[in-house]
Amino acid sequence: MSFRCDLTGKRAQVGHKVSHSNHKTKRRFFPNLRNVTLISDALGRSVRLRISANALRTVDHRGGFDAFLMKADDSKLAPKVLELKRQIAKKREAAPAAE
């Protein structure tokens, strides 16, 4: 299981643990990942993802999962989320023609 956010691409960072005597040893800083279920309004279904707590706040701020994906950079998205983004874009493109 990789320590990578499906939406923002946040990964584990590397740094030093510094002791009182200023002795430095390598350590990793992991993102705050959570397993969540997000609902896509365009697709009409829920999606299980592993995202950071910060990404969850950003999804709420941008007005939902679909709105977040439309504004997100493709290079940061996981492959399965990128496929969801394509499906949502296709549904949104077809929806105005049906009305």
Q: Is the pLDDT of residue 91 over 60?
A: yes
The whole-model pTM stands at: 0.81
Q: CATH no. for residue 61?
A: 2.30.170.40
- Residue ranges of E strands in 1-99: 13-18, 24-29, 33-40, 45-52
pLDDT tens readout for residues 23-79: 999 999 999 999 999 999 999 999 999 999 999 999 999 999 999 999 999 999 999
Indicate whether 2 belongs to any domain.
no
pLDDT tens track for 57-66: 999 999 999 9
| pLDDT at residue number 2 | 81
Does 37 map to a domain?
A: yes
Q: Are strands 13-18 and 45-52 parallel, antiparallel or unpaired?
A: unpaired
Distances (CA, A) of 97 to 44, 84, 87, 90: 18, 21, 16, 12
**Structure-token match 């992991």, residue found:** 30
Domain enclosing residue 50, as ranges = 13-98
The answer as to whether 78 is a domain residue is yes
In a domain, 88, yes or no: yes
Model confidence pLDDT, tens digit, residues 2-24 = 899 999 999 999 999 999 999 99
pLDDT at site 98: 56
